[in-house]
Every structure is written in C-alpha cells, then in structure tokens.
A and B are shown apart, each in its own frame.
Chain A
Amino acid sequence: MALHSSAGAPEGPLLAEPGHYDYAPYRGRPRIAWPGGARIAVWVVPNIEHYELDPPINPRRGGWPRPTPDVLAYSWRDYGNRAGFDRMADVMARHGVRGSVSLNVAVCDMFPDIIARCCELGWELFSHGVYNTRYMYGMDEAQQRALIADVRNTIFRASGQRLDGWLSPALSNDETTQHILAEEGILYTLDMLHDDQPMPVRTRSGRPLISIPYSLETNDVPNFVLRNATADEWAELVLAQFEQLRAEGGTVLCLPIHPYIIGAPHRIGALDRVLAHIAAQPDVWLATGREIARHFIDHHLAEFDAWIAAGTPA
C-alpha cells in the first residue's frame, strides 16, 4: 500500500483549502515585540515518539514498508529512546535550552525515565498523539475528543502540566481537527506551515486558537533522511534560517529534532554547534511553545485580528 493513499478519504466534496486563515501578506504587519527586546523567539522541539512494531492500519495511510515485523524501520526509531535521548538532552541542558516536547504520550507509560528527565529539565510536554503509528485520518469527532482527553490526562498524570499545544501524530490531522482543538481549549496548533510568525486560526466556534511556526525546513528528519544532508550541511542550513529570521525581526525559529536522528553519534556535535551559536546571541528569546503562544495571545493577537479585519493595510 502506498504511504499516501486517497483510500479512506471522506465521502462528498473535499476541502480545497484548510479555511482556517485569511491571506496575510508579509509586509505592513503589526510589529511583534518579544520579551526583553529580543528580535527572534527560538524554540526547540524534540519529537519523542514511539512507532509500534505491529500497528493497526489506517485506511488513508499504509503501514511499514516491509512485512511485519519491519525490524529495520522499528529499530532505527527505537534508537532514539534507548541511546539518542540522553545525548540530545545533555547538549540542550549544556546550553540552557529547554525543549517543548512533541510527545507520543504512550512514552509516558513505556519510558517513564525519559519523561522524568524532561520534567527535571523544565521542558514543556505537548501532544503528538498516543503513538506515531496512530493517525487521525478518518477519526470522527468523538474519537478525536477521546484522543485529546487521553493525551491531556496522560500528560497531566506524568508531569502535572496542562495540555496547551498540538501537533497531530505524523501531521495526520483531519478536516475537523482544528475546530475541535479550539473547542477543547488547546492554545496552539502546529499542523499548518503557512507562516514564520504566530497567526490567529479561524474555527467554527470562534474560540481562540493560534498557529505558531513548526518547521519541515530545519527539521532533522527531512534534512537527513529525505535530502541526505550531512551534519555540517544541516547546521549551516539551520544557522542561515536563524540569521535571516533574526534580521527580519518579530519572527519564530522552530527547530524540530528527533533523538533517533540528531542523537546519532555523528550528528550530535552539529546540534551542539547550532545551540552554542544561538544561545550566545543577545537578542534571542529562548522560549517554549506555551510561552510563545501566551505572549502572542496576551500582547499581539488583538492587533493581528484587527489588521486582518481591516484588509491587511500596508
């Protein structure tokens, strides 16, 4: 079965666009002032995941490329939770960079020592579903709400934290997901890649939800697995992204990483160099997702809404 299949798509007309935001040109926008006069907010997003050896198959996306058990695919990812995590956490801690964890919450049950270390380091935990092999494609609304409740309860039980952020597992959101996130009181979503700044998300209830930048550009998986980058090439790309966004100001740099990729012994030095550079700059706000969302909602959301309502004047 193909990785991306149209099988299992909803009956009836398909959405031609997400419909959650209006066009907003990158000029004339209200100025975002980050805390402390910083020009850029930087947040590092470790994706701490578990991929099941024998997952049930979702009608819209196939399973592992090989017959079960796909030892190669499974054990490659399992390296992150066995060997890569501590390397990654050590480097982040050395530079005083907190993580905002995109968490498959089954990890709370399977590897409580990993979650304990995240909590010791003051990291935020947000939702990346239960397993990275359980997609949201085709879930009805009650199923999506049940998933959200499971994630919220599991994160609270493991860390005492409130669930504020959402990245659908494997970016597998369905048509109604953003509406439900808003109704469930989620603060921020990462399912959309349409901007370098936080943006309001329009949903059917009108309840507030914002999008903050995630990234598949700086993300280690597309770079190392799909684009075959070396560690040095990745570091150069991330720092170029950082310097450009910093020069533009009022922006967000998101650095999504995966312990099974960045935690490999030939790559961890690149993360060390990237974080050393970023953490040494004076005009950087090293933040978590929750902090970025809160700051934007409290200080800038109303003026962005007003600017968009006024037709985005230059």
Chain B
Amino acid sequence: MTLDPRYLEYPSRGARLDHGRFAHRRPPPRAAWHGLGLWIVVPVQHFPMDMPRGPVAIPGGMERPYPSYWDYTQRDYGNRVGIYRIMRALDERGLRATAAVSGCIPGRYPALVADIAAREWEVMAAGWDMGQALHSARPEAEERGLILRTRNALAAAFGTAPHGWHSPGHSQSAVTPDLLAEAGFTWCADWINDDLPFAMTTRAGPLMNLPMAWELSDRRCLFEQQQTTAQFCCQIADAAARLRDEDGRVLTLMLTPWVMGQAHRYRAMCGLLDALMELRPALLTGEMLAA
C-alpha cells in the first residue's frame, strides 16, 4: 500500500509555529515581582446532568449512564458546600482568589454570587456551563452568542463585565480567541504551554493567554489520576519551590470546590496554603498577569 503523497508534504515546516496565534519564543520572566508569583483560581462551574458527551469529553463531565445523580450531585456539592470551605481557608489567610464562573451561575445561585462579590474576588468567565464546550463543530455565530450571553450574565450579576475567560475543558474552536477579543475580553487561560502569560494575535487585536493549571490542577491529580491529597500537595510544593528559584514565574493554584473543597482535604488545603505563604509569594490576579 501507499499513502497519499501529501502525507509527506509539510506546508507549515519552517522557522515558525504551525499556526499564526503566537510566537514560539518563550516570554522572559516577569520583572514585576521577585521569587514566586501565585495565582489562586477557584472554578465555580455548573455541570448539567444532560450535558452532551461529545465531541469534546469535558474533564469532570457526566461519565455514568443518564441520569447520573452520582456525577451531577458530586459536582453540585462543590457550589453548595465545598466552596464555602475554600472561602473560609482563604479568608482566614487574607487571600483572594479569581473565581472562574459559569454564565448560568448567577441565575441559579444568586446567594453564591453575592458571597463571591462580597469578598471582592476577581471574576473571570468560564463559559455558559460545562455542557456548552467551544469547538469547531459548532457554528461561529452560535459560539459568539454563547460568549456574549455569558459575558452579559456575569456583567449584570457582578456589576462589571469580566475581562478574562476560561473555556470549559480548555477547549477552543479555531476562532475562539477572535471572538473573545471581539467581545471585549483581554485575556484567556486555556493554552497550557507556558508558566508565564504570552500574547496571542486575533482579528480584533491582542489577547493574552494566562497559565491555567492543568497537569498540576486538583481536578487532574486528585480526580482523574486518583493521587492522594498528600501526593498532590507535595507536588505543588515542589513546583512552587522550583518556580520561586527561577524568579518571576507563576504558579497557578487551582482549588476546585467539588475536589479540594471536600471535608477530608480541608486540613491539607490549609497546610498547603500556609506552606505556600512561607515562600512569600507575590499574590497575583488575572488582571495583573495580563498587564
């Protein structure tokens, strides 16, 4: 047999990446802070029980046969109970997080929105809900509608439109960065190829990409990979020490309410926060990182 000759042609091979979104050069460490930069992100996301299971399998999506009360209620626990433990742990240490909030959350849980707003946490958009993934099988007009609907719902609930965006499951279509910039967003946190922010080009001007945790997120390590809490905390501490030594880089600490907000992890979470504070990190927000 033989392959189509085009399989051995490489039209994008050259001194550039195989797309035009960003340069391949690594950004230099930030001079805006010394040692470790710490960005705490708390996802406040809604997983509908009837969410589609394709074409993008969203981490944390419904896995068991419909109707999966197991999957649905375990995640909903996070928005009822787990997040209040995370708030308590952060409040006690004078820390603020960036909440990555689904657009449907204000309509469902206004009390939670008020509690986030009262803490003056930064708010970034996390899509309409976890069932509405962005991907190239969805028409562009529909994607634009989802982005605007999410932005408007969060703007109405929090009083100002969010500048940052995190797509469900880090999934983007080919035009998501363009649509985000056109909708007034100035940064997103989906591409996991750096531990520093970098600029992307879009048809509506620049859009920064911020380093969202994925490999070192609680969802990945504790839920998907089934590591122990102690193993997770140890790896975070190892990463923090390394990034501090490299000077001017960012550790993104993701605290997911339905994962890290479980009761049996509370003491470990507090211990982890205390250990990180001993490194005297620069406390960062998305806006500071995107600047």
| Chain A, Cβ-Cβ closest to B14 | A109
Query: In the bound complex, do residue B56 and residue A67 qualify as a contact, i.e. CB atoms below 8 Å apart?
Result: yes
Query: In the bound complex, do residue B193 and residue A138 qualify as a contact, i.e. CB atoms below 8 Å apart?
Result: no
Query: In the bound complex, do residue A69 and residue B24 qualify as a contact, i.e. CB atoms below 8 Å apart?
Result: no
Measured between C-beta atoms, what is the minimum distance from A48 to chain B in Å? 13
Known contacts A68-B174, A69-B136, A78-B193, A269 near B238 by CB under 8 Å: yes
Query: In the bound complex, do residue B192 and residue A75 qualify as a contact, i.e. CB atoms below 8 Å apart?
Result: yes
Instruction: Report the separation of the CA atoms of residues A143 and B9 in the bound assembly, to the nearest whole angstrom.
Output: 11
Known contacts A110-B16, A130-B10, A8 near B238 by CB under 8 Å: no
Flag A61-95 by CB within 8 Å of B: 1 or 0 each. 00001111111101110110111000000000000
Partner-binding segment picked from B99-107, B119-127, B147-155, B225-233: B225-233
A 101-157 contacts with B by CB, 8 A = 106, 109-112, 130-131, 134, 138-140, 143, 146-147, 150
Known contacts A138-B3, A228-B226, A269-B242, A143 near B191 by CB under 8 Å: no
- Does A10 make an interface contact (CB < 8 A)? yes
Query: In the bound complex, do residue A266 and residue B191 qualify as a contact, i.e. CB atoms below 8 Å apart?
Result: no
Flag B10-37 by CB within 8 Å of A: 1 or 0 each. 1011111111000010100000000000
Known contacts A68-B136, A140-B2, A230-B227, A53 near B19 by CB under 8 Å: yes
- Classify the interface of chain B: helix, strand, loop or mixed: loop
Measured between C-beta atoms, what is the minimum distance from A111 to chain B in Å? 6
- Does A195 make an interface contact (CB < 8 A)? no
Among B16, B55, B167, B234, point to the contact of A230 (Cβ < 8 A). Answer: B234
Query: In the bound complex, do residue B15 and residue A228 qualify as a contact, i.e. CB atoms below 8 Å apart?
Result: no
Query: In the bound complex, do residue A266 and residue B6 qualify as a contact, i.e. CB atoms below 8 Å apart?
Result: no
| Chain A, Cβ-Cβ closest to B175 | A69
- Does A56 make an interface contact (CB < 8 A)? yes
A-B contact count, CB below 8 Å? Answer: 144
| Chain B, Cβ-Cβ closest to A264 | B215
Among B1, B137, B194, B226, point to the contact of A82 (Cβ < 8 A). Answer: B194
Known contacts A65-B57, A82-B193, A71 near B242 by CB under 8 Å: no
Measured between C-beta atoms, what is the minimum distance from A165 to chain B in Å? 21
Query: In the bound complex, do residue A264 and residue B2 qualify as a contact, i.e. CB atoms below 8 Å apart?
Result: no
Neighbouring A residues of B265 by C-beta, 8 Å: none
Flag B166-196 by CB within 8 Å of A: 1 or 0 each. 0101111110000000000000001111111
Neighbouring A residues of B16 by C-beta, 8 Å: 110
- Does A52 make an interface contact (CB < 8 A)? yes
Instruction: Report the separation of the CA atoms of residues A231 and B232 in the bound assembly, to the nearest whole angstrom.
Output: 11
Neighbouring A residues of B90 by C-beta, 8 Å: none
Instruction: Report the separation of the CA atoms of residues A72 and B217 in the bound assembly, to the nearest whole angstrom.
Output: 14
Query: In the bound complex, do residue A66 and residue B1 qualify as a contact, i.e. CB atoms below 8 Å apart?
Result: no
Instruction: Report the separation of the CA atoms of residues A70 and B55 in the bound assembly, to the nearest whole angstrom.
Output: 11
Flag A39-65 by CB within 8 Å of B: 1 or 0 each. 000000000001011101011000001
Known contacts A75-B191, A82-B26, A109 near B231 by CB under 8 Å: no
| Chain A, Cβ-Cβ closest to B169 | A72
B 229-270 contacts with A by CB, 8 A = 231, 234-236, 238-239, 242-243, 246, 251
Known contacts A66-B135, A68-B136, A69-B172, A265 near B2 by CB under 8 Å: no
6 pairs of A and B residues whose beta carbons are closest in the complex: A228-B225, A266-B239, A78-B193, A75-B193, A75-B191, A140-B2
Interface residues of B, Cβ cutoff 8 Å to A: 1-8, 10, 12-19, 24, 26, 55-57, 135-137, 167, 169-174, 190-196, 214-216, 224-227, 231, 234-236, 238-239, 242-243, 246, 251
